[in-house]
């Protein structure tokens, strides 16, 4: 069965990963999770690649948890840590560019923020909407958001769970390029080519140095997020909100 994560060597040293689970609109389906894990395993095993571009399809980048996945956590059958896709970009030894040409929802937005370079679309929606479902944030959100966006905007995004267009976030001064959707991937590929001009060993060494503080603090923060989930995710109201927000 063909993977919903398409692996393409754009050039000998540049990998383009395109998430295209049209059936589930790039929510974290089993197919998408397995595809991402497999793709990054191939990248990890390579001694050639220098940079990864991660993108979605049409107006979707990544859309967060599925209804079934959220209910499984609510019922205590799963945890978001069972299969770690959120920090794949952080753990990747070479630089990763998140070309977020489409909507980034919940954990999908967080996954993109763990990349070394982030590019947003003016038209697309970005939100960390965990609290709309009644449970506290997971996926390492409380670690990466303050580091990438600052504590004030983080508190607004996480506590209020608002929905923002890329153009709105650009006005708020986020430190990422925000471009028309049609220009996001092209910008990312040009950036990738510039990165690929550098020696691979030096890229790996410098990334390892730059992200070391995040890698070191993330496990303890994720542990606390899981503890908060144990207190918030199993409330009856959460099931009601999940069903209501998914329209079932």
Q: Is 229 a catalytic residue?
A: yes
Instruction: Give the total number of structural domains in the chain.
Output: 1
Q: What is the pLDDT of residues 181-220, one digit of tens each?
A: 999 999 999 999 999 999 999 999 999 999 999 999 999 9
Q: Considering the domain boundaries, does residue 150 fall inside one?
A: yes
The pair of structure tokens assigned to 86 is: 């959120």
Indicate whether 105 belongs to any domain: yes
Tell me the CATH number at 14: 3.90.226.10
Residue 244 lies in a domain: no
pTM score above 0.85: yes
pLDDT in tens, 122-154: 999 999 999 999 999 999 999 999 999 999 999
Cα–Cα distance between 63 and 79 in angstroms, integer?
A: 18
- Position 83 in a domain: yes
* Helix or strand run (H / E) with residue 5: strand 5-11
Give per-residue pLDDT as tens, 6-60: 999 999 999 999 999 999 999 999 999 999 999 999 999 999 999 999 999 999 9
| Total residue length of the chain | 248
Structural domain for 140, as ranges: 5-181
In a domain, 235, yes or no: no
Where would I find the H helices in the chain?
Answer: 30-45, 67-74, 88-91, 107-113, 141-149, 151-155, 166-171, 181-196, 200-232, 236-245
Q: What are φ and ψ of residue 109, in 5° steps?
A: -65, -45
| 42 falls within a domain | yes
On whether residue 110 sits in a domain, the answer given is: yes
Q: Which residue has the tokens 């697309």?
A: 124
Over the stretch 74-107, which tens digit does the pLDDT of each residue have? 999 999 999 899 999 999 999 999 999 999 999 9
39 within domain boundaries: yes
Among 24, 74, 209, 229, the active-site one is 229
């Amino acid at each position: 069965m063909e993977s919903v994560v398409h692996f393409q060597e754009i050039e000998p040293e540049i990998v383009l990963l395109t998430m295209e689970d049209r059936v589930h609109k790039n929510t974290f389906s089993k197919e998408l999770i397995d595809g991402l894990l497999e793709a990054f395993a191939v990248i990890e095993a390579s001694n050639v690649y220098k940079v990864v571009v991660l993108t979605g399809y049409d107006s979707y980048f990544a859309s967060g948890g599925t209804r079934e996945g959220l209910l499984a956590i609510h019922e205590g059958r799963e945890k978001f840590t069972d299969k770690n896709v959120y920090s794949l970009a952080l753990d990747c030894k070479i630089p990763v560019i998140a070309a977020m040409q489409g909507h980034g929802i919940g954990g999908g937005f967080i996954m993109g923020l763990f990349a070394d370079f982030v590019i947003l679309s003016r038209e697309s929606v970005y939100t960390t909407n965990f609290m709309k479902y009644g449970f506290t944030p997971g996926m390492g959100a409380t670690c990466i958001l303050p580091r990438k966006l600052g504590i004030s905007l983080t508190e607004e995004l996480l506590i209020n769970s608002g929905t923002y267009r890329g153009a709105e976030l650009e006005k708020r001064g986020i430190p990422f390029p925000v471009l028309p959707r049609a220009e996001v991937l092209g910008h990312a590929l040009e950036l990738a080519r510039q990165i690929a001009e550098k020696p691979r060993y030096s890229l790996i060494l410098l990334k390892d140095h730059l992200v070391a503080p995040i890698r070191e603090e993330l496990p303890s923060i994720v542990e606390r997020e899981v503890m908060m989930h144990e207190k918030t995710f199993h409330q009856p109201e959460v099931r009601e909100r999940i069903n209501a927000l998914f329209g079932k």
